[in-house]
């Protein structure tokens, strides 16, 4: 797999392929009364900060590749509810993650969340990166 950097593009790929929730195509029902709303599966959020009253929010993926709390959702997800091996290489300064039930699904990343995302994508058979996809809104 071509390694994606941590960020919205990788987060969107994880939300869609690993967590099984595509980017919502409609505004949340109660977006007008909140400053932030979550999608039905909780893998996307829509914020209204910076928008004038009446504008529709933009759906943004959870920061799976940049937050250990969000990355932990991947580990607890039904598809991957499995033992995770996670280690830090002091010499190279990178993290390595793999899921025991999916041999050969090693992800190497700059951070633990980054490595977890890459290993999860490999575990479910995603071999192509989102390089040709439209970039996710920031």
CATH of the domain at 109: 3.30.2120.10
Nearest to 65 by CA among 32, 104, 30, 97: 97
What does the pLDDT look like over 76-85, one tens digit per residue? 877 666 688 8
Task: Name residue 60's beta-bridge partners.
Answer: 45
Predicted confidence (pLDDT) per residue in 26-66, tens digit: 766 655 555 566 777 888 888 765 555 556 667 889 999 99
Closest by Cα among 20, 39, 10, 2 to 80: 20
The total number of structural domains in the chain stands at 1
49 is a domain residue: no
| Percent of the residues in the chain that have a pLDDT greater than 70, as a whole number | 72
Alpha carbons 102 and 123: distance in angstroms, whole number? 6
Confirm whether 131 is domain-assigned. no
Q: How many whole angstroms separate alpha carbon 67 and alpha carbon 114?
A: 9
DSSP code at position 9: H
Is residue 76 in a domain?
Answer: yes
Give the integer Cα–Cα distance in Å for 45 and 59: 5
Whether residue 13 is contained in a domain is answered as: yes
Quote the mean pLDDT of the chain: 79
Structure-token match 């987060």, residue found: 11
On the 0-12 / 13-18 / 19+ scale of CB atoms within 10 A, 125 is exposed
pTM check: above 0.75: yes
Q: Residue 74 CB: number of other CB atoms within 10 A? A: 27
Question: Does residue 94 lie within any of the structural domains?
Answer: yes
Domain extent, residue 68, equals: 8-22+62-123
């Amino acid at each position: 797999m071509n390694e994606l950097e941590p960020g919205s593009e990788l987060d969107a790929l994880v939300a869609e392929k690993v967590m099984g929730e595509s980017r919502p195509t409609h505004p949340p029902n109660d977006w007008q009364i909140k400053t932030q709303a979550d999608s039905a599966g909780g893998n996307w959020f829509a914020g209204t900060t910076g928008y004038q009253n009446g504008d529709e929010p933009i759906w943004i993926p959870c920061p799976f590749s940049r937050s250990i709390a969000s990355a932990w959702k991947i580990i607890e997800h039904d598809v991957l509810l499995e033992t995770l091996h996670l280690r830090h290489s002091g010499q190279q300064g990178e993290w390595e993650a793999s899921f025991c039930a999916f041999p050969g699904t090693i992800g190497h990343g700059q951070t633990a969340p980054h490595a977890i995302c890459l290993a999860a994508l490999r575990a479910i058979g995603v071999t192509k990166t989102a390089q040709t996809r439209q970039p996710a809104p920031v």
